[in-house]
Amino acid sequence: MKKFINSPSNFVEETMEGILLAWPNQLKAVDKEKRILEASYTLFTTKGINNTSIQDIVENAGIAKGTFYLYFKDKYDLQEKLITKLSHDLFNKAMLSVKEKNISKFDDQIIAIIDYVIDSLVKKPELTSLISKDLSLGVYYSDKLTKIVDSDEIGLFETFIAKVKEHNIKMENPEVTLFMIIELVSSTGFSSIINKVPLPIDKFKPYLYDAIRKLLK
């Protein structure tokens, strides 16, 4: 079996299009948790989670099996943290992209962030299938990623709350509003991208974005 650890940079660039580019090209021994996450992404998106064993993961990552349990309880704990990492990074890349466009209106900023996320998922159906309807993990549970997320990063949740205050928007409960938006995008977006229900994503976007704008009023 070809071990993933022999070509980490290829994995990052070819399978995730930069979502994990923050990870160094030459992984050191102290980066075992990241190696496990990278290996699990490769295996989960090719073999499926049910068909991937912990032994498969540790062999692909080039680590001892006992090392796995220093970081994760089981492969389902690993799955949750991997999805959290992927969605967290995806939203952060979306926010960076929108920041570079200098969009002034708050609702346009949010729509642009969501549009970036959706387009990224469309380009990577294996990523969409892995994240499934769990985009909110990267917004609300990034505290699980203490070792693999820069402590100085400001996520979507903090950014959204700050923007509501900055634009002096009268919103009764920003936290609940953001949760509703992310869950709406996650659930309906997944169905539209994967199953084309109720419409293919390009035709569904206007309805989705109109609903989001109404939530932001």
Domain definitions of the chain by residue range: 4-72, 103-216
- Residues 124 and 41 sit within 8 Å (Cβ to Cβ): no
Does the CA dihedral 16-19-24-29 come out positive or negative?
A: negative
Distance CA 27, CA 7 (A): 10
Local structure of residue 107 (DSSP, 8 states): H
CA distances from 121 to 48, 127, 135, 144, 185 (A): 18, 6, 11, 23, 12
The reported pLDDT for the residue numbered 65 is 96
CATH architecture of structural domain 4-72: Orthogonal Bundle (1.10)
Per residue in 193-207, pLDDT (tens digit) is 999 999 999 999 999
Residues counted in the chain: 217
Assess whether pLDDT exceeds 60 at residue 146.
no
Per residue in 102-142, pLDDT (tens digit) is 999 999 999 999 999 999 999 999 999 999 989 998 888 76
Kindly indicate the confidence band of residue 7, based on its pLDDT and cuts at 50, 70 and 90.
very low
- Residues 81 and 144 sit within 8 Å (Cβ to Cβ): yes
Model's pTM, two decimal places? 0.82
Q: Is 170 left (phi over 0), alpha (psi -120 to 50) or beta?
A: beta
Mean pLDDT across the chain: 85
Greatest Cα pair distance, the chain, in angstroms, is 57
- Residues 10 and 49 sit within 8 Å (Cβ to Cβ): no
